[in-house]
Structure 1
Amino acid sequence: MRLRWWGAGLGGLTIGLLALGAVATFAQQTPPQPHQAPPQQPQASPKPANIDRNGVLMLIRSTLLALDHANRTGNYTVLRDLGAPGFQVNTAARLAEIFAKQRSDKIDLSGVAVIDPQLSLLPQIESSGLLHMAGFFPSVPSQVNFELLFAPVEGQWRVFGVSLSVGQSAPVAPATPEPPAGKAVVSQKQSAPPKPGVPAKPPAQSATQ
């Protein structure tokens, strides 16, 4: 199961739905003339983020625990307030609709408070200026996979996008195969060994004269 939501698109990243302001801006742009390719701006490559391990852990855990609290209570106001302006284009009611599946499945994310995440994508700064990271929390029987975006707001990183999936991490043994229909399982019965001191009875023999 995978649930994904990003805030408004910024820069070179194409993410989810665009904010209303971005839609209005795009609508006012002059379309390119026929036989003319639109001007393309070179996009900068992502670069490693200058953030230490403790800072990464705080961002990941605070975001996922806020989502867990919202799922448990059905109140997404705090999660929305913690987000960047591009994330706050969603109302609390809209966020409740987005995460309705997680809420109905009673997904428990409280383990992220004590388990260290393993990063599959180290924190990096995208060409849009967003902080991007991804990884997972290994646990039994479920594994929490996450992908997060943060936008800089007044000197702080605030959540801009959340992608979350919960999957099974522990190996599952195959089910015991059942015998085919219409065939009975036959066990071979062995004859009991002779008692001590009693000679074994020889097998019956038939002779022809």
Structure 2
Amino acid sequence: MTLRWVSAGLGLSVLGLLILGAVATSAQQTSPQPHPAMPSQPQAATKPANIDRNGVLMLIRSTLLALDHANKTGNYTVLRDLGAPGFQVNTAARLAEIFVKQRGDKLDLSGVAVIDPQLSLLPQIEPNGLLHMAGFFPSVPSQVNFELLFAPVEGQWRLFGVSLSVGQSAPVAPPAPEASAAKAVVSQKQATTKPGVTSKQSAPSATH
């Protein structure tokens, strides 16, 4: 899987990932290491976001569909313009470089328009005021994992950071135990039957 963070804001710390500079990317997913807090400065707590389900769906879908359109057209200007000022430090050309692999793989995210996401992190407000959420779409057609950050701009939540990874869909379940047991019984009966011997003898045919 490819994990990719695109964001801005010096000193942004989310789930132990310290984002420094305009853009941070990672080739593979690793376990996050907590960023040590200063002893004299107690860490502020997150709080649930006051946003309904429809609002969450609109934010997730609009963001991923904008990214999908950008990947398909190669034009990242609209995606950049939809972001918060901190996100706009990334030029359209820079965004095109960041998502070059997804564009080359022809990743199709259009399924997010009709499939409901499953949230692994409910929308919450980080101590720095950013709206943070994470989850996945089970199949579009591959499972798409996402993590999003939004910044408040003039009364609206606008994209500040996006992390996207593509994984395999759910594995196929093994055969049911009943089916396996039935096959075992049939195999056992076949093993105990002698070749050329039938269980019943047919009655001799009558002759006239």
Contact 1:82 1:159 in 2 (8 A): yes
Equivalence map 1:20-169=2 (5 Å): 40-139=40-139, 141-169=141-169
Report the equivalent of 2:184. none
Question: 1:10 & 1:163 partners in 2: Cα distance?
Answer: 17
CA distance 1:144–1:19, change in 2 (3 Å)? closer
- One-letter amino acid matched to 2:169: S
Q: 1:88 and 1:5 mapped to 2: Cα distance?
A: 14
Report deviation, 1:64: 0.2
Structure 1 stretches of 4+ with a deviation exceeding 4 A read 190-197
Shift of 1:9: 2.7
What TM-score, normalized to structure 1? 0.71
Matched, 1:17 2:20: yes
Residues 96 and 163 of structure 1: is their aligned pair in 2 closer, same or farther, counting only changes over 3 Å? same
Measure the CA separation in 2 of the matches of 1:95 and 1:132: 21
Counterpart contact for 1:7–1:17, Cα < 8 Å: no
Equivalent residues, number: 168
| Residues 152-204 of structure 1: CA deviation (Å, up to 9, x unaligned) | 11111000000011111231489xxxxxxxxxxxxx9x75459979xxxxxxx
* Cα drift, residue 138 of structure 1: 1.1
Match of 1:3 in 2: 3
Q: 1:141 to 1:111 in 2, by over 3 A?
A: closer
- Using CA pairs under 8 Å that are at least 6 residues apart, name the structure with larger relative contact order, 1 or 2: 1
* Contact preservation (8 Å) 1:141, 1:170: no
1:120-157 Cα deviation digits (max 9, x unpaired): 10000001100000011112651111000000111110
Check 1:112–1:103 CA distance in 2 against 1; reply closer, same or farther (3 A cut): same
Offset of residue 4 of structure 1: 1.4
Unaligned runs of 5+ residues in structure 1 are 21-37, 175-187, 198-209
* Secondary structure, counterpart of 1:111 in structure 2: helix
Inter-partner Cα distance in structure 2 for 1:123 and 1:6: 19
Of all paired residues, the percent bearing the same amino acid is 82
**Cα pair 2:111 2:141 within 8 Å, conserved:** no
Give the gaps of 5 or more residues in structure 2: 24-37, 175-190, 204-208
Matches within 5 A, 1:164-203: 164-172=164-172, 191-192=195-196
Structure holding more helix per residue: 2
Q: CA deviation at 1:18?
A: 2.1
Q: Which one-letter code corresponds to 1:111 in the other structure? A: G
Q: TM-score under structure 2 normalisation?
A: 0.71
- Structure with greater Cα Rg: 1
